[in-house]
Amino acid sequence: MPTKLGAHTLRLDSTPSVLSFAAVASKKEGEGPLGNKFDILNDDTSFGQQSWEKAESQMQKLCVNKALEKANLSPDAIDYMFAGDLLNQCIGSHYGLRDLSIPFLGLYGACSTMAESLALSSMFVDSGLANQCVAVTSSHFCSAERQFRFPLEYGGQRTPTAQWTVTGSGSVVVGKNVKPPYVKAVCIGTIEDLGIKDVNNMGAAMAPAAAKTIQTFFEDTCTNADNYDLILTGDLGEVGSDLLSQLLAREGISLGTKHNDCGLIIYDRENQKDINAGGSGCGCSATVLCADVLPKLQDGTLKDVLFIATGALMSPTSVQQGESIPGIAHLVYLSSLPGQKGVL
């Protein structure tokens, strides 16, 4: 059963295992630094479908099936599935996963959805409500642009603070404690809003939430950056990462060299066109986690990792009405070490 630590952190005393994981991506992601690490890499960004939205659904379907295959599990072995995406009413998840007949809980955490779904899956397993759960999310550059910004045909110039939405999906199967990586704790974030209204500056909108969640987790657990090998934020990009450092410095917190950001890892910003401030989208943190970080935890290259996916909780309607952009960040503490030894 989970044990409450401090304000918002739950220690998962049974330390559930990440049984398997999978990452699906497309051409632009394949041209980046992680290109050889994805389970499925498709140069056709439509994934053989007739619309970008259907392509996103297809990515989730492929990703979940691949994760189940790697765990040698069938869909009926899964108790609950937690999924979401950026599209209106999460249609990417609903249409992509409807044929699996797995009890489904739809989530909207914007780009924080990978951490939110992984946290909830782990909490369900730790509490005994489930034996095995699936966490999955996705994003698609074209479907996101069409919904949140402009038609692709518009061809507008991208601002230096803009980020490129990742076309990709990540899926994780969580089960009882049997092997690394283990989920040791989660910290559920609060909604933070410092009044940012620029839809082309998601990093600035999300940085306050990331700072708040990291600070809360450190206070709740009486730890600091030195206790971890990697502190990985979701998709703050260059602008948001710089702001995160400034916000934490005001509280006397330094992440030093331990911090990196999925939006800075997924693409080669010097050699890939139009990346600007980095990557973004639900698929950004999901693919980096599943293609790069979880394998390193599995083989012991990394021992203690804080994964903090960040999300901008806006909609096209709220932006058109002049609302600011609230942010959210959820934290999952992952480890290659069994049991609650060491950091906690």
Does residue 9 form part of some domain?
Answer: no
pTM: 0.95
- Going by C-alpha positions, the residue among 20, 51, 46, 26 that lies closest to residue 38 is 26
Distance of alpha carbon 205 from alpha carbon 94, whole angstroms: 28
pLDDT number for residue 336: 95
As for how many domains the chain has, the answer is 2
- Could you tell me if 238 and 322 lie in one domain? yes
| Nearest Cα to Cα of residue 97 among 84, 114, 112, 111 | 84
- Predicted confidence band at 297 (pLDDT cuts at 50, 70, 90)? very high
pLDDT for the residue 140: 87
Instruction: Please identify which residue in the block is written with the tokens 């890892």.
Output: 265
Question: Would you give the distance in Å from CA 266 to the centre of its chain?
Answer: 12
Indicate if 202 and 331 belong to the same structural domain: yes
Percent of the chain with pLDDT over 90: 75
Closest to 246 (Cα-Cα) out of 201, 207, 191, 198: 207
Identify whether residues 204 and 277 lie together within a single domain. yes
Residue whose C-alpha is closest to residue 18's, from 341, 282, 302: 302
Among the candidates 151, 175, 199, a domain finishes at 175
Q: Do 148 and 189 have their domain in common? A: no
> Residue 319: what pLDDT?
80
Contact 63, 42 (CB under 8 A): no
Q: How confident is the model at residue 134 (pLDDT cuts 50, 70, 90)?
A: very high
Cβ contacts of residue 245 below 8 Å, gap of 6+?
254, 255, 259
pLDDT digits (tens, 9 = 90+) for 191-217: 999 998 988 888 899 999 999 999 999
pLDDT tens digits, one per residue of 141-158: 877 676 666 656 555 666
pLDDT-wise least confident of 239-243, 249-253, 299-303, 338-342: 338-342
pLDDT, tens digit, 9 for 90 and up, residues 53-63: 999 999 999 99
The pLDDT assigned to 152 comes to 60
296 and 201 in a single domain? The answer is yes
343 part of a folded domain: no
Query: What is the share, in percent, of the chain residues with pLDDT greater than 70?
Result: 94
For residue range 16-51, list pLDDT tens digits in order: 999 999 999 999 999 999 999 999 999 988 899 999
Q: Provide the residue type at 234 as one letter.
A: G
Helix ranges, the chain (H): 27-30, 52-71, 91-97, 113-126, 141-148, 202-221, 237-250, 262-265, 282-288, 294-298, 316-320
What whole-number distance in Å separates Cα of residue 337 and Cα of residue 182? 7
The per-residue pLDDT for range 218-251, each reduced to its tens digit, is: 999 999 999 999 999 999 999 999 999 999 999 9
DSSP 259-316: EEEHHHHSS-TTTSTT-BT-EESHHHHHHHIIIIIHHHHHTTS--EEEEEEEEE---H
Quick one: 98 and 139 in the same domain?
yes
User: Quick one: 156 exposed, middle or buried, by C-beta within 10 A (0-12, 13-18, 19+)?
Assistant: exposed
Cα distances (angstroms) measured from residue 209 to each of 140, 215, 228, 235, 336:
24, 10, 20, 12, 27
Q: Residue 273: pLDDT above 70?
A: yes
Answer for the pair 267, 279: CB distance below 8 angstroms, yes or no: yes
pLDDT of residue 157: 65
Question: Does residue 111 sit in the same domain as residue 162?
Answer: yes
Instruction: Report residue 343's pLDDT band, with 50, 70 and 90 as the boundaries.
Output: low
Check whether residue 309 and residue 200 sit in a common domain: yes
Which of 140, 175, 210 delimits the end of a domain? Answer: 175
Q: What is the pLDDT of residue 138?
A: 95
With respect to residue 11, please indicate whether it lies within any of the assigned structural domains: no
Place of tokens 């609230």: 326
Query: Domain check: are 318 and 239 in the same one?
Result: yes
Average pLDDT, the chain: 92
pLDDT at 342: 54
Tens of pLDDT, residue by residue over 99-132, are: 999 999 999 999 999 999 999 999 999 999 999 9
Range of the domain at 205: 182-335
pLDDT of res. 306: 98
Last residue of a domain, one of 122, 156, 175: 175
The pLDDT of residue 23 is: 98
Of 341 and 224, the structure prediction assigns the larger pLDDT to 224
Give the pLDDT mean for 260-275. 91
- Please report the pLDDT score of residue 305 as a whole number: 98
pLDDT in tens, 65-93: 999 999 999 999 999 999 999 888 888 89
Query: What confidence score (pLDDT) does residue 151 get?
Result: 59
